[in-house]
């Protein structure tokens, strides 16, 4: 690999944590019913400090009930997808890998769409999204192996093929779905949105996403070793296949939970880890938490744009694709010219 260690500035963590806190508070006040920044702070602080109310009951409801769970879900989704993308890129030694590029999101989308077609159960939605997200990743992993390795071109092509296959299956589901009942729900859900956020959905999301991120962070040394290559990892005593499968399962759990809760929120797991790596370097001890913070801030910003740019809310998948697709094109060209590592 050609990564060079980069020592993050000492002030990076305080700056990122402060930026995240300010962005969260600011995001709560953004929307068709705007709440001033100082009132948002006062409403939130009132839960722990004896403050005389200087806000309306409507403002309190908007902050704590309507937008509170939405902001927390946006933070979890941004952090989870970014950590999943960073772990995948290290495991596969490839900066072009992400939950969407390698077909996980497409597989999870098919599972979720199938669940929406057949049932109204949130449990079925989560389980089918997880199962088909894992199936898609396994297909890509098997297809991309050439002589025991996964070259960049084969990995990208395998992801394109797998994604196209599951996208076709999703289209089939939309074709057979009831246009008066199931189809609108499937279409809206697939475009990605936090509009239906609730504390119950936050709980459903928090367990697999927080659990997956925790396991990946505990495996940070193993991912560092995997990023050196299979031969080096084996020589250092690492069980490569088992470690890689644990990473795959964690990524599938995070991605499927995100898809189940918010639909398809693409490109976050590709764009943010690479930006974080450019700032803090390839050591996953630093890279994973940095990617989580960057991802949370980024998705809060995107969600704020989605709620404020027009009179109607823009689906998240549209905005993240507008930002992510040009970046991916630049990254592909840059990687072809220099390479994150030579295959």
CB under 8 Å to 28, separation ≥6 — which residues?
35, 40, 44, 63, 67, 68, 71
User: What distance in Å separates the CA atoms of residue 132 and residue 104, rounded to the nearest whole number?
Assistant: 8
pLDDT (0 to 100) of residue 224: 94
Structural tokens at position 22: 């300010």
Q: What's the residue count for the chain?
A: 343
- pLDDT on residue 1: 43
* DSSP-derived 3-state class of residue 183: helix
Burial of residue 114 (number of CB atoms within 10 Å: 0-12, 13-18, 19+): buried
Q: How far is CA 248 from CA 66, 140, 233, 328, in A?
A: 34, 12, 17, 22
pLDDT of residue 151: 64
Residues 6+ apart with CB under 8 A from 185: 116
In sequence order, which residues have a C-beta less than 8 Å from that of residue 95 and are 6 or more positions away?
89, 273, 274, 277, 331, 335, 340
What is the C-alpha separation between 146 and 225, in angstroms, rounded?
21
Residues of the chain under the 70 pLDDT cut: 1-8, 52-53, 146-152, 331-332, 334-343
What residue ranges define each of the domains in the chain, with the CATH number in brackets?
Answer: 80-337 (1.10.3470.10)
pLDDT at res. 148: 59
The contacts of residue 337 (CB under 8 Å, 6+ apart) are none
pLDDT of residue 84: 95
Note whether 167 and 113 are within 8 A (CB). Answer: no
> What's the pLDDT at 279?
87
Are 299 and 268 within 8 A, CB to CB? Answer: yes
> Tokens 């390795």 belong to which residue?
149
What is the model's pLDDT at position 53? Answer: 67
Q: Could you give the CA distance from residue 276 to residue 261 in angstroms, rounded to a whole number? A: 25
Apex 339 CA angle, 336 and 343, nearest 5: 100
Q: Which residues have CB under 8 Å from 32's CB, separation 6+?
A: 307, 311
Q: Which pLDDT value is given to residue 342?
A: 43
């Amino acid at each position: 690999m050609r990564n060079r260690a980069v020592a993050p500035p000492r002030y990076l963590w305080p700056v990122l944590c402060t930026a995240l806190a300010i962005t969260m508070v600011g995001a709560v006040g953004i929307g068709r019913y705007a709440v001033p920044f100082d009132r948002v702070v006062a409403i939130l602080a009132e839960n722990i400090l004896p403050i005389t109310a200087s806000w309306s009951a409507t403002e309190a409801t908007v902050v704590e009930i309507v937008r509170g769970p939405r902001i927390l879900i946006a933070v979890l989704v941004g952090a989870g997808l970014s950590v999943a993308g960073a772990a995948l890129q290290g495991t596969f030694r490839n900066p072009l890998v992400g939950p969407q590029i390698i077909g996980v999101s497409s597989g999870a989308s098919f599972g979720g769409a199938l669940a929406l077609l057949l049932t109204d159960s949130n449990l079925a939605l989560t389980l089918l999204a997880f199962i088909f997200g894992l199936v898609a990743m396994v297909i890509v992993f098997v297809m991309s192996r050439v002589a025991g390795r996964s070259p960049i071109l084969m990995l990208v092509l395998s992801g394109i093929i797998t994604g196209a296959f599951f996208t076709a299956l999703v289209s089939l589901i939309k074709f057979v779905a009831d246009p008066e009942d199931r189809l609108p729900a499937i279409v809206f859900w697939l475009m990605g949105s936090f509009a239906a956020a609730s504390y119950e959905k936050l709980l459903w999301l928090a367990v697999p996403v927080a659990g997956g991120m925790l396991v990946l962070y505990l495996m940070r040394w193993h991912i560092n070793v995997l990023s050196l290559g299979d031969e080096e990892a084996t020589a250092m005593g690492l069980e490569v296949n088992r470690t890689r499968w644990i990473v795959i399962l964690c990524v599938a759990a995070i991605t499927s939970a995100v898809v189940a809760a918010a639909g398809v929120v693409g490109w976050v797991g590709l764009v943010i880890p690479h930006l974080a790596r450019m700032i803090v370097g390839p050591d996953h001890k630093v890279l994973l938490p940095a990617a989580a913070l960057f991802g949370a801030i980024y998705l809060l910003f995107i969600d704020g744009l989605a709620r404020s740019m027009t009179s109607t809310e823009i689906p998240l998948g549209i905005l993240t694709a507008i930002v992510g697709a040009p970046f991916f094109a630049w990254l592909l060209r840059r990687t072809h010219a220099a390479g994150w590592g030579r295959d």
